[in-house]
Amino acid sequence: MPYIDGFVIAVPTANKQKFIDHARLGDAVFMEYGATRVVECWGDDVPAGKQTDFQRAVQAKEDESIVFSWIEWPDKATRDAAFKKMMEDPRMDPKINPMPFDGARMIYGGFQPVVELGSA
């Protein structure tokens, strides 16, 4: 069964192209180390909620957009092995590929699918 890493971040709207460039470099590394799919989604219709929402989850500011991303792996073992390799990969070094957003406000986690319909 596949394994999914999910991410939500607030990116300064002015940094959209910088984010895309950053993602293209980093996402290629995920694919090289075994990811089967990487999706980066720029917020288009992300409403404010009454109790909670994506903006509050990442403490987004007015000049920031929400990005929702996920990485699909064939299984958790492949993902875990990839993360170990990425820790030493210079392409993942923030000095080489700096994050165009505040990484401290990123929320992320690993997930095991329990229901899956359709195909990519």
Identify whether 116 is part of a domain. Answer: no
Pairing of strands 64-73, 3-12: antiparallel
* Residue 120, pLDDT score: 58
Identify whether 120 is part of a domain. Answer: no
Domain containing 45 equals 3-111
Q: What is the pTM of this model?
A: 0.91
- pLDDT tens for the chain, 120 residues: list them: 899 999 999 999 999 999 999 999 999 999 999 999 999 999 999 999 999 999 999 999 999 999 999 999 999 999 999 999 998 999 888 888 889 999 999 999 999 999 989 875
Number of domains in the chain: 1
* Residue 118, pLDDT score: 86
Identify whether 84 is part of a domain. Answer: yes
DSSP 20: H
- Which residue is associated with the tokens 């590394």? 29
Identify whether 18 is part of a domain. Answer: yes
Identify whether 117 is part of a domain. Answer: no
Q: Any idea what the CATH number is for the domain that residue 57 is in?
A: 3.30.70.100
Distance separating alpha carbons of residues 18 and 16, to the nearest angstrom = 5
